[in-house]
Structure 1
Amino acid sequence: MRFWRRDPQKWDKADNAGPVTEADLAVNVHLEAVLRRARPDYGWLSEESEADPSRLDAEHCFIIDPIDGTRAFIDGQEGFSHSLAIATRDRITAAAVYLPAKDLLYTAHADGPALLNGKPISVSPRSEMRGATVLTYRAATEPQHWAGGKVPDFRREFRPSLAWRLCLVAEGRFDAALSLRSAWEWDIAAGTLIAERAGALATDRQGKPLGFNSARAATDGMIVAGPALHRQLADSLTRP
């Protein structure tokens, strides 16, 4: 927050990987110092750290996005978050997503409920695509992505932080979150567990279970929704 709305230094990453700011790096340094000091045997996977292949051999691994929604952060919007997760082998077992400008803290662990500022949350009970609110980007509504070229009659909305989108589904404020592009693990690791513990089903775009701390550090898209709505979305998508 020392950097937010104070014109932080910013630049573009190589290979069109998006913008980064001095705040992203400062948060990353702080989190790595605190977390790795507490758990020195854990692996480390962060959007803003150099790749460390040794994480693949670790029983536990931190999966971190220091600032998810950097463009929103640069623009002075409130919809950016910090996304922190722990993978035990290939499953997420603890998660926190925090929006500092809104003071919203979403948390979950593998054996407990999803919480927002300490209070339980749950997914929407909606089971029909018609009229559902789906958090996704505009290109996901193009006809070629849907069976028979027929785009479902849902209402598309967008939020800049992918981690927050998953938490909004967990909270029941939106019915589903959808990504048909590859999703980086650091963007979705924490939000996936929070959504699952709130009652959602979270898979890749093929309907297959998500795995984490992989060599590629990315998934083949993502569908997150209550089980009945998830099934309808998955069945309606074309298969690449």
Structure 2
Amino acid sequence: MPANDDLALLTEAAREAGRIALTFWRQSPETWDKGDGAGPVTEADLAVNRMLEAEFRAARPDYGWLSEETPDSDLRLNDERLFIIDPIDGTRAFIDGTRDFAHSFAVAENGRVTAAVVYLPAQDKLYSAGIDTVSTLNGRPISASAAESPDGATLLTARPNLAPEHWQGGVVPPVRRMFRSSIAWRLCLVAEGAFDAMLTLKPTWEWDAAAGTLIAAQAGALVTDRRGAALRYNGTPPRLDGCLAAAPGLHRALIDRLTR
């Protein structure tokens, strides 16, 4: 299936997911904790997931399925192509009624993301990219920054990632730290050049990062795991060894300073 056809499918589904999510947003949706440190989930997450699974499986019955809100199965490991889905990325932001939650949808083929959409329905921002296309925001091409030095660079990251023990010699680079709840959106903000880099050091679920990593890469950012290795998807377990996305020169500078 051509990546452009998959991209059109993801885009249409993202708009529908947004319509569903906004019917629950700021309406005190039912919420509970998934346990084992997995964080909260709401009835909106599950409603979006049900729609997506029905639509995507009907449209691409030969694709595998990996979603945060569907019990995982090793059957996907035998699939050449699969959907990697986060029905709502930034669920805590959704619960709090802020506008910073996103839908994150990707298709991966043989471990490589080929089509990706991240949609923020409360802001009506739709980011997308295909393996052979430029990254766009609401249809307009976007590009990552050209920053080369950490000095004063803007870095989207959680505060613990700037603890001295994560950096060579305990010296934290002089970056300006910012934060957004959604990992997918952080990657897209790097893609549009609004921030110079994003970093997460802890193991990262594939559904959080898959779509955003392609969008950042197609916008000119260099995207790897925390050790500088290329990202591969459809793993077992489906987790990346952290993620760093930045302008190429800045990426090298940060990787060189991180402890391994």
Say yes or no: TM over 0.5: yes
Structural RMSD (CA): 0.5
Q: CA deviation digits over 1:107-132, x for unaligned, max 9? A: 00000100000000000011110000
Paired letter, 2:141:
P
Deviation at 1:22, TM superposition (A): 0.3
Which one of the candidate residues 13, 22, 27 is aligned to 1:6? 27
- In 1, Cα distance between the equivalents of 2:157 and 2:125? 21
Match in the other structure for 2:200:
179
1:129 is the counterpart of 2:150:
yes
1:210 aligned residue: 231
Partner of 1:81: 102
| CA displacement at 1:190 relative to structure 2 | 0.1
CA distance in 1, matches of 2:119, 2:225: 24
SS of corresponding position for 1:24: helix
Counterpart position of 2:180: 159
Matches within 5 A, 1:39-78: 39-78=60-99
* CA deviation map 1:52-81 (0-9, x unaligned): 211111110000000000000000000000
Q: Which runs of 5+ in 1 are unaligned?
A: none
Amino acid at match of 1:215: T
**Share of identical aligned residues, percent?**
61
**Partner in structure 2 of residue 19 of structure 1:** 40
CA distance in 1, matches of 2:163, 2:74: 37
Task: Indicate the residue corresponding to 1:150 in structure 2.
Answer: 171
What TM-score, normalized by structure 2, do the two folds share?
A: 0.91
Distance 2:245 2:257 in 1: 14
* Superposition map of 1:92-103 within 5 A: 92-103=113-124
Q: Which runs of structure 1 show a deviation greater than 4 angstroms over 4 or more consecutive aligned residues?
A: none
Tell me, in whole angstroms, the C-alpha distance in 2 between the residues paired with 1:179 and 1:199: 19
Distance 1:135 1:116 in 2: 19
1:215 Cα offset (Å) = 1.3
Question: In structure 1, which of residues 214, 233, 238 is the aligned counterpart of residue 254 of structure 2?
Answer: 233
Post-superposition CA distance 1:192-235 (Å, at most 9, x none): 00000000111011100000011110011111001100000000
More helix by share: 2
> Are positions 1:119 and 2:177 aligned together?
no
Distance across 1 between alignment mates of 2:123 and 2:227? 34
Task: Provide the secondary structure at the position in 2 that maps to 1:77.
Answer: coil
SS at match of 1:6: coil
> How far 1:92 sits from its partner (Å)?
0.2
